[in-house]
Amino acid sequence: MRVLVVGAAGYIGEKFAEYTRGAADEMLVDIVDSYRGWKKVDFAPYDSVLFAAGIAHRKQNLVNKPLYFKVNRDLAVKVAKKAKDAKVPQFIYLSSMAVYGKKEGKISEHSKPMPRHNDYYGQSKLQAEQELKTLAKGSDFGLAIIRPPMVYGAGCPGRFQTLKKLSKFFPIVPDNRNKRSMIYINKLSEFLCMVIKQKKEGVFCPQDEKYVSTAALIRQFRRENGKATLVLPCLGWLVNLGKKICPALSTAYGTLVYERKVKTEGEFG
């Protein structure tokens, strides 16, 4: 099967291409940049196009707001239209758990996407999903939307990397037994391969088999650096103090998960 990945500068697209090169079965993957590279490529020979480009870690202010929608929504739709015109059987859009608009809580099969008013990342991803669904409706153009939680792995940018850096300064951490849905980059790449090979359509919410607590994550980071960690029973005041000092901990120490019964395939929700 031939796959075109749009998003050569993106972490997930790049790691997916690396993963498929090491796979036992044959999957020919080409990767192009999202600026002009995709415009020069003939889409017709491809069985699937994976749109892995995106703006995610820029400061979410009014200055950067147009950029979020230009790349995450408008560019995705342009690439999808070219794929549809070339009669590519499948288009995969890499969305995000952020479309649900939750900082804490559980996301069930009944949860409706509702990004926060100041979350341009989540808004742009959801608007892209909506336009892509309209484009695919009533046609042979297969659409798969992937909404992963926090992705982690070697060299991963974003919150995961921030927490990893902060862990160096926390030899003592409270264990408030929070839970986080996460997915390892190789597991996500494996999942994408399955979606492509089986020509899946629908909305997918892949995650690791086990939830992860922030305390366990920090302890693992420190262990990798040869540092010991003292994990204390939950100390509410310490967690609250940490949140005031470092806003990133507010997100890190909350519980945010996909419920296990959330469907990972099927009709669009």
d(CA 81, CA 145) in angstroms, rounded, equals 16
What architecture does CATH give domain 2-152+183-208?
A: 3-Layer(aba) Sandwich (3.40)
pLDDT at 164 over 60: yes
Query: In this prediction, what percent of the chain has a pLDDT beyond 70?
Result: 90
**pLDDT attached to residue 254:** 78
Q: Where are the domains of the chain?
A: 2-152+183-208
| Arithmetic mean of pLDDT, 162-186 | 83
List, by residue number, the catalytic residues.
121
- Confidence class for position 204, pLDDT limits 50, 70, 90: very high
Residues with Cβ within 8 Å of 186's Cβ and at least 6 positions away in sequence, in order, are 15, 19, 153
pLDDT at 150 over 70: yes
pTM: 0.89
Q: Which of 47-61, 73-87, 207-221 has the highest mean pLDDT?
A: 73-87
pLDDT single digits (tens) 80-110: 999 999 999 999 999 999 999 998 899 998 8
